[in-house]
Structure 1
Amino acid sequence: MNNIISPRELHTALQQPQQSIILLDCRFTLGKPEAGSDAYQNEHLPDAHYLDLEKDLSSVATSHGGRHPLPDVQKLAQKLGSLGINADSRVVVYDEQNGMMASRAWWLLRYIGIEYVQILNGGFTNWKQSGYETTKSVPAASPQTFVPFVQQDWGLAGVEYVKENLHNPNVVLVDSREKKRYLGLEEPIDFVAGHIPGAIHSFWQDVLTSEGLWKTDKEWKEMFFAIDSHAEIIVYCGSGVSACPNVLALKSAGFPNVKLYAGSWSDWISYRDNPIEKNR
């Protein structure tokens, strides 16, 4: 299954009576927590339900765990079940942030056992520019009982695991933030600048074309050609959200062992004795 679906492909699939697709609108603007919900209330894809990054796709931040800790699995499953989703559902997620929020949803749904999850290429903007219908109507749901089954091999890394593997030549750390943040030249969000020692840099938006569409599997393979295909790859960002597009690209490119460090940089620096590196 392709992880990405075009507006045309989605529109065609939605016209098929035998197809049952649940759409999830994941639009969210960091620093403006109500903007995504407001955008959804104003206009969204027909029959789409809304998932909020901070209320649904994250848990409350504490002293450790980063700015967007993963949500409680049971709570997320209950939310998804209330929207009519179970483990056998076909789900398409979208946002308006170049796939960043949608990728977080994609990763989480796959992690808790939903296999058929795709991201709408180009998100809400591409759908609308393609001339397809939008609506203000909030759909009714047919609640399902969703029993989550965490996919341990899907790949999740915690802070201790990262520390244990800092000098492991078979483990590659990938920092997904902007280059200036990686280098420690500036840090507009967190209280410490720099990166985890030994991490290489690959800005998450580089998995997209200049038009904001997802690149192909072949292009991703070329992007990550320098990484050993047998290596274990741990991807992080600031808070475990913008790392997810890189996780998707690496997995789609055929790398078999890719993990998300969900707490990411904001978790790493919450432990004052953790080493940091700068390349000023």
Structure 2
Amino acid sequence: MKNIVSMRWLLARMYEPDVVIADCRFLLGQPTAGREAYEAGHIPGAVYLDLEQDLSSPVSTHGGRHPLPDPAALASRLAKAGISSNARIVAYDDQGGMNASRLWWLLRYMGHEQVYVMDEGFTAWQNAKFPVTTDVPVQIPSSFEWNVQPQMLASVEDVQQASASGSAVLIDSRDARRYAGLEEPIDAKAGHIPGAVNYFWKDVLGADGRWSGVEALEERFVKLGKDDAIIVYCGSGVSACPNVIALEEAGYSNVKLYSGSWSDWISYEGNAVATGENSG
């Protein structure tokens, strides 16, 4: 696994000078819970990055519930946190890797290759009796150079085309009930983008809560061609990111994120909505 590191891997390297640990814990609907959890205890040296304050820009008419942050603003935030362009960045959360994967995707989108997600998460780290602290590290400002990789991002027009013509495989990362339109706890409309197939993001994890190995991930996506153009979405562009990592691990190289996702799709009056079971 080239994007996922074990807790022991991080334990062995956490004090190396070029390693930066980012705590990305966040609970939807409880915007202060992640920071409070960080203040109550975190991996030593970790800086806190907030999904809504740091890893998203403010909500507007389009762009979904967690619009991508402006790259310059994010680079400035990272630099202020002492994260430099040559850092090896390891992100963790306590949400199965969902929020940590958002940071992974953003950094890769900004041209930063050395970024990893820690397997399992903070509770497992704590249960393993690995070190935890309430000390907040001194953040010495650094500089973060960035170089956006536009090929990683799909626009709403790309998605409209894929939905209409099958020019790309559309993957919906939400759970099956939301995909089918049987329930929608967050967004204004229920259903999925017409033509999309459902691969619930949590299925990248095994029953033990750890990331599946490469062979299991290859098996999971076996219906997809390795050369297929693939566009991944979810509700707001966060839980799609573990699927993007999983596809990369399984050897798919033409994978884009539709960052606005379902919450952006339904913000356009003319976009069709489908309901029903997985067609994949």
TM-score normalised by length of structure 1: 0.96
Distance (Å, rounded) in 1 between the aligned partners of 2:253 and 2:141: 34
Distance (Å, rounded) in 2 between the aligned partners of 1:206 and 1:239: 18
- Shift of residue 13, structure 1, vs aligned partner: 1.6
SS at match of 1:180: helix
Aligned to 1:7: 7
SS at match of 1:93: strand
SS at match of 1:157: coil
- Shift of residue 166, structure 1, vs aligned partner: 1.8
Distance (Å, rounded) in 2 between the aligned partners of 1:231 and 1:108: 23
- Shift of residue 20, structure 1, vs aligned partner: 2.1
Distance (Å, rounded) in 2 between the aligned partners of 1:38 and 1:240: 24
Distance (Å, rounded) in 2 between the aligned partners of 1:254 and 1:167: 26
Q: What amino acid is aligned across from residue 85 of structure 1 in structure 2? A: I
State which of 257, 261, 264 in structure 1 corresponds to 2:258.
Answer: 261
State which of 136, 144, 147 in structure 1 corresponds to 2:145.
Answer: 147
State which of 123, 128, 131 in structure 2 corresponds to 1:130.
Answer: 128
Q: CA RMSD in A?
A: 1.2
* CA displacement, residues 12-33 of structure 1 (integer Å, 9 cap, x when unaligned): 1225x5x520000000000000
- Shift of residue 270, structure 1, vs aligned partner: 0.5
Aligned to 2:189: 192
SS at match of 1:166: helix
- Shift of residue 147, structure 1, vs aligned partner: 2.2
Does the CA-based 8 Å contact 1:194-1:277 persist in structure 2? yes
Aligned to 1:56: 54
Matches within 5 A, 1:1-280: 2-14=2-14, 17=16, 19-153=17-151, 155-279=152-276
Moved more, 199-208 or 19-28: 19-28
Distance (Å, rounded) in 1 between the aligned partners of 2:47 and 2:10: 16
- Shift of residue 236, structure 1, vs aligned partner: 0.3
Moved more, 233-242 or 142-151: 142-151
Moved more, 208-217 or 43-52: 208-217
- Shift of residue 86, structure 1, vs aligned partner: 2.2
Gaps of 5+ in 2: none
Gaps of 5+ in 1: none
Q: What amino acid is aligned across from residue 186 of structure 1 in structure 2? A: E
- Shift of residue 158, structure 1, vs aligned partner: 1.3
Distance (Å, rounded) in 1 between the aligned partners of 2:155 and 2:132: 40
Distance (Å, rounded) in 1 between the aligned partners of 2:111 and 2:125: 27
- Shift of residue 218, structure 1, vs aligned partner: 1.3
Does the CA-based 8 Å contact 1:28-1:37 persist in structure 2? yes
